Homo-oligomer: A and B are copies of this chain.
Amino acid sequence: MDDASPRPAGSPLADLSSEEFAIWVGFLQTHAVLARELDADLRAAHGLPLTDFEILLWLANRPCEGMRMAALADAVLLSPSGLSRAVERLETRGLVQRIPCAEDRRGAYAALTESGSDLVRTAGATHAAGIRRRFLNRLTPEETRVLTAIWDRLLADSQQTCNGPRLRPSGTAEARFGAAADTTSRTRRNDV
C-alpha cells in the first residue's frame, strides 16, 4: 500500500461512513466484475454478448408468440432504439425473427428462430454454470435469503419512494421476469 489513506476526511463523499461507502463501492465493483466475466464467458463459448443473450433469454420464455418490441426493451432495460438495433443484429444472425403484429399493424413481435432456440439453450448452460460458479456457490443460504429480501424491497418501491422514473414493474424478481409481455407500458427511460 502507499501513503494514500482510503477516504481522507474532506473526501467529497465524507457524508458516508467508511462502512457505507464500502458497501456501495463493493456493490458497484462486484457487479462490474461479474458482468465482465460472464460476458467474456458467453463471448468465448458462443460468440454471444451478454446483452444479446439476455434478449434471447426473455424470448425463450415465449417460444411461440414472441414478445412485442417495447415489452422486450423494458425487459432488458434497453431504449427502444437500442433494442431495435439489437434485434436487427440478432435477425441478421438468424437467431431472431420479426413477426408483424396482426392486431396492431404498427407493432412487431420478436421471436426466436429454431437456431436461436438452440443457441440460447446451449449458451444458457454456460451462463448458468458461470452464475453458479462465480456468484451463487459463494453465498450461504442465509446470504441468499438476505439478498432476495434486499432486491425485492429495492425494486418493489423504487418508484414510490424515489420519485424517480418508474423503471420496472413491481413484484418479486421471479415475477418481474416474464411478466412484461402484455404490460406494454412505456415507462422506462433515461430521462433527466
- Report the bound CA distance from A72 to B122 in whole Å: 38
Q: A12-B123, A15-B128, A179-B6 are in contact. Are A146 and B146 (CB under 8 A)?
A: yes
Q: A151-B29, A192-B44 are in contact. Are A174 and B18 (CB under 8 A)?
A: yes
Select from chain B the residue with minimum beta-carbon distance to A131. Answer: B24
Point out which of A43, A136, A142, A175 has the most chain B C-beta atoms below 10 A from its C-beta.
A136
Size of interface on A: residues with Cβ below 8 Å to B:
92
Inter-subunit contact B150/A139 (CB<8 Å)? yes
Inter-subunit contact B2/A181 (CB<8 Å)? yes
Q: Which residue of B5, B57, B133 is within 8 Å of A13 (Cβ)?
A: B57
Per assembly, the copies of the chain total 2
A102 located at the interface, meaning its Cβ lies under 8 Å from any Cβ of chain B in the complex? no
Contacting residues, chain B, for A135 (C-beta < 8 A): 24, 27, 154
A80 located at the interface, meaning its Cβ lies under 8 Å from any Cβ of chain B in the complex? no
Contacting residues, chain B, for A147 (C-beta < 8 A): 23, 26-27, 146, 150
Binding site for B on A (CB under 8 A): 1-2, 4-8, 11-16, 18-37, 39-40, 43-44, 56-57, 60-62, 77, 120-121, 123-125, 127-129, 131-136, 138-139, 142-144, 146-155, 158, 161-162, 164-165, 167-168, 172-179, 181-182, 190-192
Can you list 23 pairs linking A and B with CB atoms under 8 Å apart? Answer: A4-B61, A4-B181, A6-B174, A6-B177, A12-B57, A12-B60, A18-B174, A22-B172, A23-B147, A23-B151, A23-B173, A24-B131, A24-B135, A26-B173, A27-B31, A27-B135, A30-B155, A32-B77, A32-B167, A40-B191, A43-B192, A133-B162, A134-B162
